[in-house]
Structure 1
Amino acid sequence: MSQNYRFTVNGGHFTDEQRDFYETNGYIVFRNLIPEKDLQEFTQRFLEICRGHVKVYGLTIMKDKGIQKTDKSEEEYQIFKIQDFTFDDFLFEKYARNKDLVNVVTSIVGPNVTTINTMIINKPPNSTDVFAIHPTHQDLFYFPFRPADSVCASWTAMEKCTKQNGCLFVVPGSHRNQLLPHVYLSKTKNKSYQGIENVQERSKLYLDMEAGDTVFFHPLLLHGSGPNMTQGFRKAISAHFIDSNCFFIDVRGSLQEAIEREVEEIYAKKGIIAKYSDIWKYKSRLVTGRPGNFQTLASVL
């Protein structure tokens, strides 16, 4: 590549070809990165949490309002996400600290890594597009820290993912855009699932992935997912990673002011009065290297 590298770091584990691909497209897929044995354990842990057999303080269980109206009473049919498994030592150690995964992350953000947003996403069979879609968005919309180039996401298919069951789609090269306005679109009902209007379908690349395949992407990359129109489930496990030396910004007066207010209100309803930046510190956990500007879980809230 003739241009200077901007989105990756020197001394990482990428080949030159892999590094060039991420720089150009804003994402990269590693096939069969996570072993099948680990995926089975993630699924079992998800079910144990959903059924209340395992309780993790700080973790949020999110139910799909549309699915609850069906005749399916099993928790796997009702719950579309467990949020912030950072607080679960098992999932954190097994996924966020997976050696092969961390090698890719350090090639993007550098040697000092903190995870700040972790989840298992579940799409039950025959989901409706009203509830199960995640509209085109940029992850940076939710993050009050910078620089953006020192942040990346990992997203691992826990089972085969296709366009039919709601695989991830990306808009290659869109990581070079600025942060765009996000709004609640007419077909979106789940809380905090804002999206970007008027993204053309032909610009989307749907990522068919086998179980264990993992995509890494930049926080400004346009991406999303559709409904699961099949008879099976579609699960994925995901985490966001940052250079621990990232710094917090004041989002008041910016495109992110509304989401800051929304998140603070959600926590206030839980009895936690906290600033947006402190909420993110609370949800963070050191993966490797030095903690930099992020504190331990016990030090905030």
Structure 2
Amino acid sequence: MGFAGSLSSDQLEFFSSHGYLVIESFSSEEEVGSMRKRMGELLSEFDFSVSSIFSTRNQSLTTDDYFFDSADKISFFFEEKAFGDDGKLKQPKELSINKVGHALHECDPVFKEISYSEKFSGLLSSLSYKRPVIMQSMYIFKQPGIGGEVVPHQDNSFVSTDPPSCTGLWLALEDSTIVNGCLWAIPGSHKNGLVRRFTRGEAGVTFDRPSPSYDQKDFVPIEMKAGSLIAIHGDLIHQSYENLSPKSRHAYSLHVVESDGCKWAEDNWIRRETMPEPLYVS
């Protein structure tokens, strides 16, 4: 089922009870193709002498000034396994990048047009946002053979407001399957609240408490066709495994917060002199 511009009562009930909702055929083949084509152009122009490595297992170790400065720019982050012992890429840069972020929605006209489209605005309006702001965007590659694991987490840990208001919007640009590293989630886990926060202080970034242990049997796979979108509650526990297959799993991800009545946490890793423009004001 495609997206008609607003969520039905059944869809809202599913999101409320499960903490996520898949909307099939959210984006057209043309829209998906335009994003993939544009990212190919950005990669061809990318000088990888200035870049960083991204890891969810050792975030405080791999986070650097390049990462912090990416909040309002288009920056490129490599997979952990992209480099050999000699420090050189083991394969072409196009097959070595983990993600590009974190302001594609502001800095690139193709991604901005799609991110600020009526479809995204209508979806967020259905979720009761009054003045939604996209705080970060990412093009995620999940490269064949080396696509890194994303450990169990909650989006509200990284994109924090008071009160919490983050929703993740994850658009599949290729088919996302168990084989190539689809998302997995614990249905209903958002009802248990926020587990921990990723905070930034004078000494750098760190989690304010250790991660709980999770029973992998509680996770369910969420396979999606290219063009489908999943909305993710900010407190939902979700993850993805390594991609050991020969097929990539491209996706475009947005993290949205409410700016009407919600205060941006000063110890977020994202620090902005000016906030992004809202998608709309209701």
Q: TM-score range by the shorter chain?
A: 0.7 to 0.9
CA contact (8 A) 1:109 1:243 kept: no
Distance change in 2, residues 1:178/1:280 (3 Å): farther
Aligned to 1:83: 101
Map of 1:286 onto structure 2: 278
- Counterpart in 2 of 1:46? 39
Compared CA separation, residues 21 and 143, structure 1 to 2 (3 A)? same
TM-score, normalised via structure 2 length: 0.77
1:143-194 alpha-carbon deviations (Å, 9 max, x no partner): 231222x3211001100001111111111111111221379xxxxxxx9899
**Is the 2:79–2:146 Cα contact (8 Å) retained in structure 1?**
no
Alpha carbons 2:35, 2:111 under 8 Å: kept? no
Unmatched segments (≥5 aa) in structure 2: 48-69, 199-204
The change in CA–CA distance for 1:195 and 1:238 in structure 2 (over 3 A counts) is farther
In structure 2, the residue matched to 1:145 is 161
Query: What TM-score comes out, normalization by structure 1 length?
Result: 0.73
The percentage of counterpart residues that share the same residue type is 22
- Gap change, CA 1:39 and 1:283, over 3 Å in 2: farther
Matches within 5 A, 1:1-301: 13-52=6-45, 58-69=73-84, 72-84=90-102, 85-127=104-146, 132-148=148-164, 150-181=165-196, 196-245=211-260, 246-249=262-265, 260=268, 263=269, 279-280=271-272, 282=274, 284-289=276-281
- 2:14 and 2:210 mapped to 1: Cα distance? 26
| 1:159 alignment partner AA | E
CA 1:68/1:284 → structure 2, altered by over 3 Å: closer, same or farther? farther
Assess if the C-alpha contact under 8 Å between 1:116 and 1:285 holds in 2: no
Report the CA distance shift for 1:110/1:163 in structure 2 as closer, same or farther (over 3 A): same
User: For the residues of structure 2 that align with 1:220 and 1:203, how far apart are their CA atoms?
Assistant: 16
For structure 1, the 5+ residue unaligned runs are 1-11, 184-190, 252-259, 264-275, 291-301
CA distance in structure 1 between the aligned counterparts of 2:196 and 2:163, rounded to whole angstroms = 19
Q: How much does 1:124 deviate?
A: 1.2
Partners of 1:250 and 1:49 in 2: how far apart? 31
* AA in 2 matched with 1:60: S
Deviations 1:192-234 (A, max 9, x none): 8998341111111111100001000111100111111211211
Q: Is the 8 A contact 2:106 2:112 kept in 1?
A: no
- In structure 2, distance between residues paired with 1:235 and 1:196: 27
Distance 1:192 1:36 in 2: 40
Q: Pairwise CA RMSD of aligned residues?
A: 2.8
Q: Call closer, same or farther: CA 1:181–1:172 in 2, change over 3 Å.
A: same
Runs of 4 or more above 4 Å deviation: 191-195, 280-283
Q: How far has the Cα of 1:282 moved from its partner?
A: 4.4
The verdict on how the C-alpha distance between 1:151 and 1:109 changes in structure 2, with shifts beyond 3 A counting, is farther
> CA 1:117/1:283 → structure 2, altered by over 3 Å: closer, same or farther?
farther
Change (3 A) 1:22 1:195: farther
Count of matched residue positions in the alignment of Structure 1 and Structure 2: 243
Cα 1:145/1:209, change in 2 over 3 Å: same
Q: Is the 8 A contact 1:116 1:280 kept in 2?
A: no
Contact 1:38 1:94 in 2 (8 A): no
Q: Which structure: greater helix fraction?
A: 1
